[in-house]
Structure 1
């Protein structure tokens, strides 16, 4: 496999960054994960809008345009003989002196990884409320940053079973998000999801699903909710950019969701059509859905 590192396409064993890169030293970096479907990078505009906005908050000067981005993606899928791929696009602050820096970073490191998508992934998982609390964001909002220790601790709690997703609560006891996903549930034909004010990541797929629900005429409410609301739901599902929409069969053994006639199945059906078409969720408003 080839990866992109600061202007070069190299084998993983030949990839190098400086030990003084502040992304390594202080976790000062952000990334996006997304999928390419038959050569089309789904929601590419939304992912890179978030990436650029996050880097701006970190005072990292990164001035790539869409042509630059698509050029790297096209070259990577060609070199790796892929048409369907998992992509992680990573930008870290770049080299700096020992010590915390307040000046802008002018030469960030850009690394792009790709790999094949597994032939099959779980479409149904079991939910588990974690004992590990969701930590609060480092700033005003949670960035998709290198700070992943909280997620790793949560993952260690549930183990390596790919059919289980851990669900964080905030320290106040409100539902937050999955270890690698955003959380939704349905009660009486209304969809609920935790507000971003709980400190969750405002996932690109989360925003897309909320836009899709709007286009389908399905009400979606954001707020502060306790676990009992999830236990009483008619169904629940989680979302992320790699696994798309995943039904939850149950949560903590206290539920018995029916995933065979679920809203999540309907959303996944629309997702499977739109994922080869859209560059941004905003394009949804130009489409008629049924």
Structure 2
């Protein structure tokens, strides 16, 4: 089978009072689908390309980068949930849909579902791959240390000192350890080439600001599990499928299971960990087709 074509385009979006040129990939042909990459220090739209190529014979997949993330220099913006919500709203002004399918990975999941609340009828179906709502430090250490997280974020944002602190934590050994611990399920998949690609993402100008916000919980759109789950209550949302990776980290997996237990979403298991869509795109694509 011929692989779907990949092209690049750019949207001029006004977000937080700034005009941004936001790059997007377009893959395949058919009804429009929106694919949102995760929010993390190593995330970029490239992580969604394998899944888009798998789905590209059935959908025209649009893959944007998030502001403050991706494989390009980052414009200075407030790194907070309001900016991320505003970005999606601005994107839908330029590319209003409707979208037959929308897919969000990781921390993009609550932003996508919130957008579906604000824009009824925009999405035909929603797929959440390893959905999360709480950043790494609040997940690992608990919300009661929020003051410490704020101090750490401010330290990383400082000129010179902050950049030095950031670079210590994006070395190849650190990225390899992180990916083997909870991003990929199979350590053999964490190749030197993949580590180099991920490190290139972290070394873009201004990258430390988005990373510092995400890691410390500054991009968490909700402060409690109850608030996150309430997003799924009531009518008005399209059908939602949660793809629960078999090797998701214990704490993140517990949050996925809590969402599934509400009965407000469908559930399918897929191999992988937090980046199942990137590590096992064929299996994730097949689960989406089987559901639809």
Higher percent of residues as helix: 2
Q: TM-score, normalised by structure 1?
A: 0.26
Larger C-alpha radius of gyration, 1 or 2?
1
TM-score, with structure 2 as normaliser: 0.26
Larger proportion of strand: 1
